Amino acid sequence: MAYKHFILVCGGTGCESSRADDIYKELKASAEAMGVQDEVQIVKTGCFGFCEKGPIVKVLPSESFYVEVKPEDAKEIISEQIVKGREVKRLLYKDERQKDRIKVEDIGFYQKQYRIVLRNCGIINPENIDEYIARDGYAGLEKVLTSMKPDDVIEELKAAGLRGRGGAGFPTWRKWMFSKGVESDQKYVVCNADEGDPGAYMDRSTIEGDPHSVIEAMAICGYTVGSTKGFVYIRAEYPLAIERLKIALQQARDYGLLGDDILGTGFSFDIEIRLGAGAFVCGEETALLQSIEGNRGMPIPRPPFPAVKGLWGKPTIINNVETWANIPVILTKGSAWFAKIGTETSKGTKVFALTGKINNSGLVEVPMGTTLREIIFDIGGGIKDGKKFKGAQTGGPSGGIITEEFLDLPIDYESLTSLGSMMGSGGLIVMDEDDCVVDVSRFYMEFCVDESCGKCSPCRIGTNQMHAILVKITKGLGTMEDLEKLEKIGLAMRKAALCGLGQTAPNPTLSTVKRFRQEYVDHIVNKSCVAGKCKDLVVFSIDKAKCIGCSLCARKCPVNCISGDKAQKFTIDASKCIKCGECFKACKFSAVVKK
Amino acid sequence: MAKMTLEQLRILREEKKGEMIKRDVEGKNIQIIVGMGTCGIAAGAKQTFDEIVKSIDEHSLNADVIIRQTGCMGLCHVEPTVEIVMPGMPATIYGKVDAATARDIVVKHVVGKTLVQNHIYDRPAVDIVKN
């Protein structure tokens, strides 16, 4: 006999520790005591997020979402809900604040996420255009072609308040209006899918999961600004995304949604794919356009902006994947709907790729104005292994580290910029107490040294100099003057570099020098790295009081620098030690000390 | 299909919308949807997919089951993910589905109509297209 109800008890580590197991047992016992064990299946699940509010219990099919459940509540859940069919109201999740912010009164949902860009990801088959069409796909294009003038589309985007998701947040409508206003025999529409930030993969996932949303949006743009030709510039490292995009383009052509005389309206538009070779700088719009033209990918000074003078000197609209994916929904559901979501200055949602020392890494899409705390602790399930949060890096090598004191700041373009970080493309790397900020800054600077195109000297020389100083500090050779130099060079690069890459390359360093100054000073003055990451500053030794002489550390040591007789105290020869930390990990008695 | 007119696009949309809501494709009413983004495939979604196909075959369920693929739903920490939509059961998302778990899901969930312990995850957000 089939079950009528299902009770899901969250079995994530957070909830386990808050007695999820007892709840599970109590629920089973209560179900048996009341004779309903054949009607309800009680199962343990994976982590539901929301660990702060755990333990979580969810009842299906009624979708009741209970939080902070105690074992004593089990009886009531069974007797009220399973026997009598009534929800246990006092345990239901309420979040008035969230509801108020999104202002979508008719959705009484408990999730912190709100998916506009990722609306179809994980739901449709990306290789089947029919499934996209079934979910209002190409309805935006249809509406635009049949009932809107180009100016109406721009007005709609203006009312929606959509801003570019690729970095700086330039209003999309304004870009389109510039391009529309220029007389030209040809104009171009370009999708920037050259996602290069370490740790960011939302554009890849969007194209892999919902390629038609980008195609539809580009066609809408073509109609609006008067262009018949589009390019998607995507990096060759994304083979699956490229494959699915190719399939989608062909299906759209077969259906007459791309090509000549689309849907019999007389409007023609088609899209070509251009593969990038993976240079970070080609994500910068002017360098990207150079690359499409077949030139070496190097930025050129703006103005003129691409919207006026871009590909082959023609007006060119270039937007990033996430920006494009917003557009079809704005047109089908209306600007008023979109403008209700988010904050005063930043409308809609933002997709983040949540990675690093976080329990539930993954793609999350949240309304603008969501706090970092909600993203990391409610959705991300908190820091791995119960460690302490240290900071979160947004915007990759162009962004900065946000510290604990700003966890409750609503995130939007302005708030991130005010913290010396930026929205960037949306990589969000979480760091814990074991991460050293000097080492992290050095890593990002090394990335920028590698990826600097070398055209302008502030970036070419500045990144190298800053990197050299950071390396010096991680080796314990830094001086206090070096800190001043870092700030001086960084500020000069911000002002003088040619493109966004160079102007923002100092951000990770500048933001950490400001917010974690003490840690830099520790490296310089005390020659110590609290996180234990900077090998040159770490010394391993054995605490004689704790060592029992098991010899495990000596057997693990790859360079045989630990010696001693069995059952006697062991010692580490610091002159041979390569500081791999194997002995530290191996010791079961915490006798190996890292300082 | 040949190039469409506006009218044909509207008809197709309504027709397919019906199918999506009923979740009834080609007369088959059990859908098994495997997340096949780069993250899923890297975590072994292809093996999971193959195991499901094999298992469905062994239980002679081919007439009722359609196995589909989809992109990343965002639960990268528990890939591969598999969603099951079928009559009489709540739509369920399973995570960390290796080949053995895939078999378990076919036997217990699809055939036995019971949920599989420890692998259930929550859909991350409401569906804005449906609302």
Using a CB–CB cutoff of 8 Å, tell me whether B75 touches chain A.
Answer: yes
Q: How many CB atoms lie within 10 A of CB A68?
A: 14
Tens of pLDDT, residue by residue over A493-540, are: 999 999 989 999 999 999 999 999 999 999 999 999 988 889 889 889
Q: What is the nearest CA distance from B1 to chain A, expressed in angstroms?
A: 6
Residue A108 has pLDDT above 70, yes or no: no
Better-scored residue on pLDDT, A460 or B77: A460
Phi, psi for residue A354 in degrees, rounded to 5: -90, 115
Q: Which of B38, B49, B96, B123 to mutate to test the interface with A (most CBs of A within 10 A)?
A: B38
Q: How far is CA A206 from CA A376, A424, B78, in A?
A: 22, 17, 19
Give the domain A437-526 fold. de novo design (two linked rop proteins) (1.20.1440)
For CA atoms A223, A229, A235, A237, the dihedral sign is positive
Nearest to B125 among A43, A115, A120 (CB): A115
Tens of pLDDT, residue by residue over B10-48, are: 999 988 887 766 555 556 789 999 999 998 999 999 999
Using a CB–CB cutoff of 8 Å, tell me whether A109 touches chain B.
Answer: yes
pLDDT band at residue B124 under the 50/70/90 scheme = confident
Chain B: residue whose CA lies nearest to A357:
B77
Give the closest residue to B72 by CA, choosing from A123, A355, A47, A239.
A123
- Please return the burial class of B130, using the count of CB atoms within 10 Å of its CB with bins 0-12, 13-18 and 19+: exposed
Residue A514 neighbours by CB under 8 Å, 6+ apart: A420
Interchain pair A126, B76: CB under 8 A = no
Tens of pLDDT, residue by residue over A425-482, are: 788 999 999 999 999 999 999 999 999 999 999 999 999 999 999 999 999 999 999 9
Better-scored residue on pLDDT, A422 or A59: A59
Residue A105 has pLDDT above 50, yes or no: no
Chain A: residue whose CA lies nearest to B38:
A240
Q: What is the nearest CA distance from B7 to chain A, expressed in angstroms?
A: 9
Nearest to B3 among A119, A241, A255 (CB): A255
- Residues of chain B positioned with their CB less than 8 A from the CB of A365: 74, 125
Tens of pLDDT, residue by residue over A264-308, are: 999 999 999 999 998 999 999 999 999 999 999 999 998 999 999
CB–CB contacts below 8 A, A to B: 186
Going by their DSSP bridges, the two strands B30-35 and B65-70 should be labelled as parallel
* Amino acid identity, position A268: S
Tens of pLDDT, residue by residue over A221-273, are: 999 999 999 999 999 999 999 999 999 999 999 999 999 999 999 999 999 99
Q: How many CB atoms lie within 10 A of CB A133?
A: 27
- Helix (H) or strand (E) holding B30, with range, is strand B30-35
For CA atoms A378, A384, A389, A394, the dihedral sign is negative
Q: Which two tokens stand for residue A168?
A: 């700086």
- Helix (H) or strand (E) holding B84, with range, is strand B82-85
- Helix (H) or strand (E) holding A274, with range, is strand A270-276
Integer Cα distance of A373 and A420 in angstroms: 18
Q: How far is CA A526 from CA A303, A399, A514, A516, A522, in A?
A: 48, 28, 19, 15, 5
3-state secondary structure of A516: coil
- Please return the burial class of A149, using the count of CB atoms within 10 Å of its CB with bins 0-12, 13-18 and 19+: exposed
For the whole model, what pTM was predicted?
A: 0.87
Q: What is the pLDDT of residue A107?
A: 37
- List every span in chain A annotated with CATH 3.10.20.600: 349-432
pLDDT band at residue A190 under the 50/70/90 scheme = very high
Range in A96-100, A121-125, A230-234, A246-250 the model is least confident about = A96-100
For CA atoms A161, A165, A171, A174, the dihedral sign is negative
Using a CB–CB cutoff of 8 Å, tell me whether A360 touches chain B.
Answer: yes
Interchain pair B118, A138: CB under 8 A = no
Rounded percentage of chain A residues whose pLDDT exceeds 90: 66
Q: Give the mean model confidence (pLDDT) for residues A353-362.
A: 90
Interchain pair B122, A48: CB under 8 A = yes
Dihedral angle, C-alpha A100, A106, A111, A112, nearest 10 ° = -30
Integer Cα distance of A264 and A33 in angstroms: 68
Range in A86-100, A194-208, B92-106 the model is least confident about = A86-100
- Helices (runs of H) and strands (runs of E) counted in chain B: 4, 5
Q: Which domains does chain B have, with CATH numbers?
A: 30-121 (3.40.30.10)
Give the closest residue to A284 by CA, choosing from A237, A312, A318.
A318
Interchain pair B20, A107: CB under 8 A = no
Interchain pair A209, B37: CB under 8 A = yes
Q: Within the 427-456 window of chain A, which residues sit less than 8 Å (CB to CB) from chain B?
A: none
Q: How far is CA A542 from CA A582, A584, A588, in A?
A: 13, 9, 12
Using a CB–CB cutoff of 8 Å, tell me whether B120 touches chain A.
Answer: yes
3-state secondary structure of A353: strand
Q: How far is CA B83 from CA A331, A371, A390, A594, B121, in A?
A: 30, 30, 35, 46, 10
Interchain pair B124, A204: CB under 8 A = no
- List every span in chain A annotated with CATH 3.40.30.10: 5-94
Chain B: residue whose CA lies nearest to A12:
B118
Using a CB–CB cutoff of 8 Å, tell me whether A44 touches chain B.
Answer: yes
Q: For domain A349-432, is the CATH number 3.40.50.10320? A: no
Integer Cα distance of A261 and B37 in angstroms: 33
CB A203 within 8 A of CB A163: no
Q: Which of A141, A267, A363, A370 to mutate to test the interface with B (most CBs of B within 10 A)?
A: A363
Tens of pLDDT, residue by residue over A139-179, are: 999 999 999 999 999 999 999 999 999 777 899 999 999 99
Integer Cα distance of A92 and A48 in angstroms: 15
Range in A94-108, B1-15, B106-120 the model is least confident about = A94-108
Q: What is the nearest CA distance from A129 to chain B, expressed in angstroms?
A: 10
CB A430 within 8 A of CB A392: yes
Using a CB–CB cutoff of 8 Å, tell me whether B85 touches chain A.
Answer: no
For CA atoms B20, B23, B24, B30, the dihedral sign is positive
Residue A104 has pLDDT above 90, yes or no: no
Give the CATH number of domain A539-594: 3.30.70.20
Q: Give the mean model confidence (pLDDT) for residues B106-112.
A: 93
Tell me the CB-side half-sphere exposure of residue A124, using CA atoms within 13 A: 32
Using a CB–CB cutoff of 8 Å, tell me whether B9 touches chain A.
Answer: yes
Rounded percentage of chain B residues whose pLDDT exceeds 90: 47
CB A297 within 8 A of CB A279: yes
Integer Cα distance of A448 and A509 in angstroms: 12
* Amino acid identity, position A277: A
- List every span in chain A annotated with CATH 3.40.50.11540: 129-336
Residue A132 has pLDDT above 50, yes or no: yes
- Residues of chain B positioned with their CB less than 8 A from the CB of A45: 118-122
Q: What is the pLDDT of residue B131?
A: 55
- Please return the burial class of B85, using the count of CB atoms within 10 Å of its CB with bins 0-12, 13-18 and 19+: middle
Give the domain A5-94 fold. Glutaredoxin (3.40.30)
- Residues of chain A positioned with their CB less than 8 A from the CB of B34: none
- List every span in chain A annotated with CATH 1.20.1440.230: 437-526
Q: What is the pLDDT of residue A446?
A: 96
Q: What HEC string does A478-497 produce?
A: CCHHHHHHHHHHHHHHHHHC
Residue A18 has pLDDT above 80, yes or no: no
Chain A: residue whose CA lies nearest to B41:
A240
3-state secondary structure of A541: strand
Q: Within the 205-234 window of chain A, which residues sit less than 8 Å (CB to CB) from chain B?
A: 205, 208-210
Q: What is the pLDDT of residue B70?
A: 92
- Residues of chain B positioned with their CB less than 8 A from the CB of A133: 9, 12-13, 16
Using a CB–CB cutoff of 8 Å, tell me whether B111 touches chain A.
Answer: no
pLDDT band at residue A65 under the 50/70/90 scheme = confident
Q: What is the pLDDT of residue A523?
A: 96
Q: What is the nearest CA distance from A60 to chain B, expressed in angstroms?
A: 7
DSSP annotation of B33: E
- List every span in chain A annotated with CATH 3.30.70.20: 539-594
What ipTM was reported for this prediction? 0.85
Integer Cα distance of A461 and A467 in angstroms: 10
Q: Within the 118-147 window of chain A, which residues sit less than 8 Å (CB to CB) from chain B?
A: 118-127, 130-131, 133-139, 142, 145-146
Give the closest residue to A248 by CA, choosing from A207, A212, A204, A205.
A212
Give the CATH number of domain A129-336: 3.40.50.11540
A289-298 contacts at long range (C-beta below 8 A, 24 or more positions apart): A289/A190, A289/A316, A289/A318, A291/A233, A292/A190, A292/A231, A292/A233, A296/A453, A297/A453, A298/A453, A298/A455
Q: Taking all residues of chain A, what is their mean pLDDT, rounded to a whole number?
A: 90
pLDDT band at residue A377 under the 50/70/90 scheme = confident
Q: What angle do CA A106, A110, A116 make, to 5 degrees?
A: 70
Interchain pair B117, A46: CB under 8 A = no
Residue A376 has pLDDT above 50, yes or no: yes
Interchain pair A254, B3: CB under 8 A = yes
- Residues of chain A positioned with their CB less than 8 A from the CB of B19: 134
Q: What is the pLDDT of residue A351?
A: 93
Better-scored residue on pLDDT, A93 or A194: A194
Interchain pair A201, B90: CB under 8 A = no
**What Rg do the C-alpha atoms of chain B give, in angstroms?**
16
Using a CB–CB cutoff of 8 Å, tell me whether B69 touches chain A.
Answer: yes
Q: What HEC string does A18-39 produce?
A: CCHHHHHHHHHHHHHHCCCCCC
Interchain pair A241, B122: CB under 8 A = no
